[in-house]
């Protein structure tokens, strides 16, 4: 049994539908499970009769990214996360820090805690694909590709950490100088699409949760910083595989490379999925036409 794990809080139903419909079309139903976390208030958007093969899990409690309070929503999400999470830490023992993280941090950051808990509760899962939902569309069965059981698969982005202003700022904010040395000249890899067998996936998730629980500052970008720290300082370059845009056949990422749907690599192979396809307006329009909102199919 394999699983696709995604977080779809505060998303347009149309984008979620593209993700689900493309996964349904290309995955082997008996071998693959689709699990998506959504806001409790959004469950009504997804008719159970039409999504019988998808497991939606409701996120309960206060979620900063979906608060109905107008004045609170005007506050920068980083500030909200920092304020509420750290205030909550004062009144909770360390044993409850994970629950505090789940409740008070942005779902884009806390999602890996949910993914970790799910995999631990389901030992039957052999392979997992941890993925964004809004900007991912499948072209083929990602689990049908030959993967090495001891390797983590990470999507390569066309930039160097030190030369990517945003990513480099995140790394300098969240990582000590001693860890930056091994990262600065390395390739950026995206935490939005991570693939692998159970063991390497869980090793990453355990590392991520442990690192997150020890941080005093939690703001936007910490997930990327922890991921790069894990790849280059914990694993090392020979212990993970780059899902390369031009030569690989797993994930194509970034608008600079994605120019069509379906998208082939340089050797004519079909990518299993496209990430960030919505950055290219022409591709976005084409994908939306192909996967019209017909959830009965």
269-289 per-residue burial string, b: 16 or more CB within 10 A, e: under 16: eebbbbbbbbebeebbeebbe
Interacting residues of 22 by C-beta distance below 8 A, sequence separation 6+: 137, 138, 139, 273, 291
Is the residue at 241 inside a domain?
A: yes
Handedness of CA 273, 276, 282, 284 (dihedral sign): positive
DSSP string, 191-215: EEEEEEEHHHHHHHHHHHHHHHHT-
Is the residue at 297 inside a domain?
A: no
Residue 267's pLDDT band (cuts 50, 70, 90): confident
The model's pLDDT over 142-180, given as tens digits with 9 standing for 90+, comes to 999 889 999 999 998 889 999 999 999 999 999 999 999
Is the residue at 40 inside a domain?
A: yes
Is the residue at 79 inside a domain?
A: yes
pLDDT over 70 percentage in the chain: 82
Pairing assessment for the beta strands 152-160 and 273-275 based on DSSP bridges:
unpaired
d(CA 143, CA 260): 22
The model's pLDDT over 222-254, given as tens digits with 9 standing for 90+, comes to 999 999 999 999 998 888 998 876 667 888 887
| 268-to-124, 252, 262 alpha-carbon distances in Å | 34, 13, 11
Residue range(s) defining the domain that contains residue 63: 2-290
The model's pLDDT over 40-90, given as tens digits with 9 standing for 90+, comes to 877 777 766 567 778 998 887 544 444 444 444 444 455 555 555 566 555
| 87-to-175, 215, 217 alpha-carbon distances in Å | 22, 13, 12
The CATH number assigned to the domain holding 258 equals 3.90.550.10
Is the residue at 296 inside a domain?
A: no
The total domain count for the chain is 1
Does 274 have pLDDT greater than 70? yes
Q: What is the SS3 assignment for 250?
A: coil
């Amino acid at each position: 049994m394999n699983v696709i794990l995604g977080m779809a809080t505060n998303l347009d139903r149309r984008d979620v539908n593209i993700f689900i419909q493309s996964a349904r079309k290309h995955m082997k139903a008996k071998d693959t499970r689709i699990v998506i976390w959504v806001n409790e208030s959004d469950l009504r958007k997804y008719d159970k009769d039409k999504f019988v093969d998808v497991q939606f899990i409701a996120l309960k409690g206060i979620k900063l990214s979906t608060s109905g309070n107008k004045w609170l929503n005007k506050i920068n999400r980083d500030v909200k996360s920092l304020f509420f999470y750290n205030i909550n830490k004062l009144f909770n023992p360390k044993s409850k820090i994970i629950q505090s993280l789940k409740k008070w941090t942005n779902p884009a950051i806390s999602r890996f805690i949910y993914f970790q808990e799910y995999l631990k509760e389901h030992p039957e899962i052999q392979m997992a694909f941890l993925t964004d939902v809004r900007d991912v569309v499948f072209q083929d069965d990602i689990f049908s590709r030959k993967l090495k059981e001891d390797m983590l698969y990470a999507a390569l982005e066309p930039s160097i950490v030190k030369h990517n202003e945003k990513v480099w700022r995140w790394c300098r904010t969240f990582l000590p100088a001693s860890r930056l040395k091994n990262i600065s000249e390395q390739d950026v890899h995206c935490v939005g699409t991570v693939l692998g067998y159970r063991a390497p996936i869980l090793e990453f998730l355990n590392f991520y949760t442990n690192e997150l629980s020890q941080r005093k500052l939690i703001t936007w970008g910490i997930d990327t910083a922890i991921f790069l720290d894990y790849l280059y300082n914990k694993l090392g370059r020979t212990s993970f595989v780059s899902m390369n845009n031009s030569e690989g056949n797993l994930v194509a990422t970034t608008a600079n490379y994605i120019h069509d749907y379906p998208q082939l690599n340089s050797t004519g192979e079909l990518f299993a999925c496209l990430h960030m396809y919505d950055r290219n307006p022409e591709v976005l329009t084409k994908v939306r036409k192909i996967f019209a909102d017909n959830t009965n199919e």
